[in-house]
Amino acid sequence: MEARLFRTAALAALLLVSMGARFQSTNYIVDTADPRLAQQIAQAAEKYRHDLAIEWLGQAMPNWASPCMMTVQVGPNLGAGGATTFVFDRGEVFGWRMTIQGSAERIFDSVLPHEITHMIYATRFRRPLPRWADEGGATSMECASEKQKHRTMLMQFLRTGRGIAFSQLFAMTDYPRDVMPLYAEGYSLAEYLLQHGGRRKYVEFLDDGLKTNQWAAAVERHYGIGDLGTLQNTWLAWVRAGFPTAPAATAVAATAPQASPTDPRRPRPEPNLLYREPNDHRVVSASGAGMTPVTQTAASAMTPAPQATAPLVLPASGWRPSGVAAQPIGVASEPALPASAPQATEATRPPAMEPSKQMILQ
């Protein structure tokens, strides 16, 4: 009898392991294969949610009405990345769902803080952010080796004419067809602004720009930089100088050890694109205007590009700082290479990695 009970218990345990495990905390329900890892991920997510909200907003966030469903795939050769789904509707945000993957190390030190930063922004602003600002701020929370990959890609893009002029970058509400420069340039610009004011000023700046849609004026009010052309020039000079760290820079320490930049892991999955879905449902924005629903994805997936030796340039943008003659932005004696024109993309198929999609109803 005891032997039969033992076999039954063993079979039940084996079945539970094969089906995966679930752990629920206050704001997250984590599904993954390892029960102990599910608990650790939920606890880490709660800590990031609390600590990063204080870093960005100055205070912790109240608990969500319903927890976020989180699906996690963990493996040493999985590219690190993820996507988070949520819905904006009449000033509310809900329907949280997250799908992430990577090594355990990258899950804890990069993917979780990246995706949870998206959630903090969504909870704070209750509307979509400009693509560069959302992805840039979230990427700033990744570990040092992952951020270095973005800097490496940016140098390559600027040397091959794939940089995005700030007049175009600040106007983008969708992902461009050539999406990787947006990720790299958005992260670098966010890092530059964060070094010159910290996270709370960054949030105040975004709040100002969202309310007025006058980004040049918001840059001047919050960073003392006269216009987007001047911002572009000073940022580009900072990039050429090797991304020096300003004394006022702030950082949140990762909660897990960092991996070597030479880790022989598979590349990250392709970044998620923007999806528009037909829907008769209309929502009211903060200003009271009805808008068309938009399905958006937010992910941290990027792959480093090799270094090049060409000069760092951006295309001429159609505007310039006051009193400066029209010329390409970059090294004055070297002509700017043509950039690929950013275009709004309506994806007709999902990325290779099956993501969850960040639902944003504008």
Q: Angle at CA 79, nearest 5°, toward 81 and 254?
A: 60
What mean pLDDT value characterizes the chain? Answer: 73
Q: What whole-number distance in Å separates Cα of residue 301 and Cα of residue 108?
A: 15
| Per-residue confidence (pLDDT) for residue 174, from 0 to 100 | 84
Q: What is the DSSP string of 186-243?
A: HHHHHHHHHHTTHHHHHHHHHHHHHHH--HHHHHHHHH---SHHHHHHHHHHHHHTT-
Alpha-carbon distance 305 to 63, whole Å? 40
Question: Tell me: the pLDDT tens digits for 78-126?
Answer: 999 999 989 999 889 999 999 999 999 999 999 999 999 999 999 999 9
In sequence order, what are the residues at sequence separation of 6 or more whose Cβ sits closer than 8 angstroms to the Cβ of residue 288? none
CB contact at 8 A, 124 and 56:
yes
pLDDT in tens, 147-205: 999 999 999 999 999 999 999 999 888 888 888 999 999 999 999 999 999 999 999 99
Side-chain-side CA neighbours of 249 within 13 Å: the count stands at: 13
Q: Comparing C-alpha atoms, which of 111, 119, 132 is closest to residue 88?
A: 119
Tokens of 330: 């970059």
Q: Distance between CA atoms of 15 and 17, rounded to whole angstroms?
A: 5
pLDDT at residue 291 is higher than 90: no
Q: Is the pLDDT of residue 133 over 60?
A: yes
What is the token pair recorded at 107? 């899950």
Name the DSSP letter for residue 275: B
